[in-house]
Structure 1
Amino acid sequence: MLIDTPQQALIERIRDIGHAEAVRRFFGLLKELIDVVNLPNGDARLAFTIRKDQKAITANVNFFWALRLVKPHRGEPEFWLTIKKSAQDQLVDFPEIDFSGVSQKSGYVAAVIGQSSAHLLYQPAVQQCWLDCLPELVETGKRGPHSARHNPDVYRAAEDEAFLSELIRLADDPSLGERHLNGHTVEELGADYETPDRNVPDNQPHNLILYGPPGTGKTHALQPYLRDGRASLITFHPAYGYEEFVEGIRPEVVGSQVSYKVRKGIFYKACLSAVQLAGYATLADCLNDSPDNRQRKLAQAPAHFLLIDEINRANIASVFGELITLLEADKRLGAEHELWLTLPYSQERFGVPANLYVVGTMNTTDRSIALLDIALRRRFSFRELRPDPSVLPMVEGVDLAQLLRTINERIEYLLDRDHQLGHAYLLNISTHAELCDVFRDRIIPLLQEYFFNNWAQIQLILGDNMAWGKEPEQRLIWVRKKYTSTATTNLFGDIPDTVDDVVSYEINPHLLAHEYEQVPPAAFVRIYQKPV
């Protein structure tokens, strides 16, 4: 016998409605409702319900229907959108819309739209009548808590498209009792709970930063975490802040009115996803549980990963704020010394669950690792990814592995090891033309940036200096002109007192003009192999 779980009830109701497109439209509308009312899952003023005696999914705001999806005994699914009675006249141009009273004494009616007329759901007049009504329902004097039972998975399905897709798939599957849904199993009574595979790599710290020069595969190293869908990905930038990462107040326009609402950031949502994998609907449910039960559930739950690319490009202290303490493994929810705090905007209690893993990448050329906040360094483990020349092949007589080793050794001598080139720059090259493309479009411009257009040093990196002995046609950086005293006098009429000997340079014109047949393979071989 199957346990009557919220997920099972929702799946059964989707099966009763029997129209996947109508279900998706309903949850799209429900997402709009959630955004407008701005109430968290589990708030006493919300009740998203599935009654056993009706083929309907209902979103109640306080004691009023706000939105329903109904499958009548006969006919197509219907969408019921609550609007003010005074707004009915605005919809007289749509004869396909029927109206039904919400209650005898209320000032609201339901605009009923059948699936065959679903395009009317997106008419501006219909949208405005419905959305303008929702804030009034939130503020009505007839307040919750509801006597009806709230199904938190209805809320989750509106916020999580992948979760909704899985619900719809399982609604068509007769073997529901044998299936897993996002880490949750519909179990038989009396069955022993088995710890699932957390899918955590060996020696995985809770907080990890992968760092190294560009092209060493840092972003590529995040791909395995994304394979099973239990990961959130974000790329930091200099303007990124706490309000985008955790929560913040943002203005929104609904109809003709501007409202300010608390919006959750990706870190909050990642923590929510992690506790949902442990069987909790919300972070509040997790925090309200007993410590022993919370520890057991989070220890057995699958892992969720928050992946942060370019983590050092933002102001870390500003982005994480007071949450930096909660990142420590022993301060996580479910850990020995668990902590939580109150968020400044929403005033919700918040903690970081033990089954959330944070993995960041850091390009050492953007900012030295030594400049990172000490608080961050203490809470994160660091793993360096170095260039790996061994993965590079021979291409038309050019040993790319030795080419990369030589260039990097010269960069490390003239600059530092943090600015070396990663193997990814040369990894997918199979022809001479592709090698020329990479040097013209990527490597030489990067060297220009590294050495601030100090062409003499760039020549040293590429073996184009006179002492190395390359033939002139083999050089990638050419000397365009040396200004002798005579040439300087001809240019200025006199020799300026402040001007030293000047040499101007240019990139090999054949390389720039895409005339690669004029750029011999020896131009690259002679970078690492000195002419005899």
Structure 2
Amino acid sequence: MLPDSQQQPLIDCIRDIGHPEAVRRFFGLLKELIDIVNLPNGDARLAFTVRQEKVTIIANINFFQALRIQKPRRGEVEYHLTVKKSCHDRLKINEELAFEPLTEKSDYLAVIIGQSNVHLMYQPTLRTCWEDCLLELVESNKRGPHSAKHNADVYRAAEDEAFQSDIIRLADDPTLADRVLNGYSVEEPEAEYEVEPEQPNQPHNLVLFGPPGTGKTFALQPYLANKNSSLITFHPSYSYEEFVEGIRPEISNGQISYKIRKGIFHKACSSAIQQAGYGTLADCLNDTPENRSRKLKKAPACYLLIDEINRANVASVFGDLITLLEPDKRLGAENELWLTLPYSQERFGVPLNLFVVATMNTTDRSIALLDIALRRRFSFREMLPDPTILGVVDGVELGSLLRTMNERIEYLLDRDHQIGHAYLTNVDTHAKLCAAFRDRIIPLLQEYFFNDWAKIQLILGDNSAWGKDPDLRLVRIKKKYTSAAASKLFGEMPDSIDEVVTYEINPSLQQSDYEQIPADAFVKIYQK
């Protein structure tokens, strides 16, 4: 490609910025901006400008700056994302973010992020604030005309990845155009990025499964400490359109328009690609397989954390991406694959440095939705109750208590319905122990056994054969109805002549009169 007179200012500015990776990342953001505002190149509401004297590229929407990249005279490359002032309190908790009002009386702020803190740009709260602001700026009645002329090539570089690559190559090597004229070809120089430690020693797709309260969600906390992680909780109505990409209706000036919005999985893949030095997924796919494999294997690990993965119809949510999840089919792997997304028609693959870690509650009946195709592509790690971490409270050995109840549950039901240690982890007083049984454990047993109170008594040692004194029982027999008692109650014999037994929870426990519940009520659960 030979630059024309209008492209040259853009090329010169990119050269002065001096950071190809930062420029690619900026164009990736600009592509997102274009998708969100859904305005064509040349629309009067847009003005993408290049200011060589300040080494900056700015995207204006109506009268306002919406996105900016600049290289100060001193310091590193900066990105400026415009958000509403009302977002300031939500964002200022991150001390690494800097803020600057667009004007003295403006309702908008520029969030300034340096290249060394570029990971902050993908923080979910910031991205939500920025995207919401873009939609508001489009509707603003405070419109130009802009004093600066719109540079259509900035828009084109965001939309056309091949053109973008050519522009960056020309900026990196000013003699390239002359050599192309003379018939020489030049390979694109590699984008510079920091070499990070190799990927962690764990499966690329991992499901932590077990009964409730075994610390599955807690096990995600170390991953969340990584700056390159994102968390989502599945629910029954979660869909492919929310997870990967989909078309969403939006109303503008009374007119309904439909825009393609990226889901959290797509954004997680894009973030992982950027950690390898690529601006967009397309840049990664346009690279040679050798370079792609080397960069992705050395790039920092990124994590997508999915809590309650079996709450959604997983096969439907992942759709045609099931195959791409396999470790050897990921971008940078030996048998890498990619596909074309149905809505945007963009090429898409799952990078090698993205790890998917999910949790699954085995008591949830929706576990059946995990089909064989998904099970084959995920590794499963069982997390069982750990009584050894529990202490002694008021003479009650919580570990022995939990172990005995779970052994009984496993006999009467199955191992998937045990009670997790988290139900008793924070219990350090007798009152808290009573509250845990009243509010959490007994209701859970009611759910497990469908109000089969005789079995609940067996679990709690409240059955007559175990030998607990009646006053110590947490679940008591309220009344046994003999034929005579039933006739007295109804005036005649009901159709059923079977003996009926009704139960009640210890009234002192129900009424929070915990002083009337002796410690032996719990000791006698595991000690006959």
- TM-score in terms of structure 2 length: 0.72
Q: Of 376, 379, 400, which aligns to 2:377?
A: 379
Distance in 2 (CA, whole Å) between partners of 1:359 and 1:129 is 37
Matched, 1:5 2:19: yes
Distance in 1 (CA, whole Å) between partners of 2:324 and 2:191 is 35
Matched, 1:116 2:77: no
Maintained 8 Å contact 2:47/2:151: no
Maintained 8 Å contact 1:128/1:255: no
Distance 1:239 1:499, change over 3 A: farther
Q: Of 204, 214, 236, which aligns to 1:216?
A: 214
Distance in 1 (CA, whole Å) between partners of 2:238 and 2:159 is 35
Matched, 1:298 2:296: yes
Matched, 1:451 2:459: no
Q: Of 399, 402, 409, which aligns to 1:401?
A: 399
Q: Deviations over 1:275-306 (max 9, x none)?
A: 00001111111111111111111111001001
1:432 Cα offset (Å) = 0.3
Distance in 2 (CA, whole Å) between partners of 1:191 and 1:416 is 55
Cross-structure match for 1:519: 517
Maintained 8 Å contact 1:245/1:320: yes
Cross-structure match for 2:262: 264
- TM-score in terms of structure 1 length: 0.71
Q: Deviations over 1:24-83 (max 9, x none)?
A: xxxx9998776222799xxxxx9966543136541179xx99857799xxxxxxx9x9xx
Distance 1:269 1:129, change over 3 A: closer
Distance in 2 (CA, whole Å) between partners of 1:363 and 1:398 is 28
Distance 1:194 1:505, change over 3 A: same
Q: Of 478, 481, 484, which aligns to 2:482?
A: 484
1:367 Cα offset (Å) = 3.1
Cross-structure match for 1:205: 203
Secondary structure of the residue aligned to 2:227 is: coil
Q: Runs of 5+ in structure 1 lacking a partner?
A: 14-27, 41-45, 72-78, 82-112, 153-188
**Residues 58-73 of structure 1: pairs in structure 2 closer than 5 A:** 58-59=58-59
Cross-structure match for 2:433: 435
Distance 1:241 1:346, change over 3 A: same
Distance 1:55 1:143, change over 3 A: closer
1:398 Cα offset (Å) = 0.1
Distance in 1 (CA, whole Å) between partners of 2:253 and 2:517 is 63
Distance in 1 (CA, whole Å) between partners of 2:499 and 2:376 is 51
1:497 Cα offset (Å) = 2.8
Maintained 8 Å contact 2:37/2:138: no
1:486 Cα offset (Å) = 1.2
Cross-structure match for 1:131: 139
Distance in 2 (CA, whole Å) between partners of 1:34 and 1:370 is 38
Distance 1:68 1:415, change over 3 A: closer
Q: CA RMSD in A?
A: 4.1
Distance 1:148 1:310, change over 3 A: closer
Distance 1:426 1:243, change over 3 A: same
Distance in 2 (CA, whole Å) between partners of 1:343 and 1:318 is 15
Q: Deviations over 1:320-362 (max 9, x none)?
A: 0010000000100011111000000111110000001011100
Distance 1:483 1:192, change over 3 A: closer
Maintained 8 Å contact 1:365/1:418: yes
Secondary structure of the residue aligned to 1:498 is: coil
Give the AA of the match of 1:507.
I
Distance 1:405 1:322, change over 3 A: same
1:197 Cα offset (Å) = 1.7
Maintained 8 Å contact 2:50/2:151: no
Distance 1:197 1:428, change over 3 A: same
1:499 Cα offset (Å) = 4.0
Maintained 8 Å contact 2:213/2:421: yes
Maintained 8 Å contact 1:332/1:338: yes
Q: Deviations over 1:213-245 (max 9, x none)?
A: 001110011111111211110000111110110
Cross-structure match for 2:278: 280
Number of residue equivalences: 425
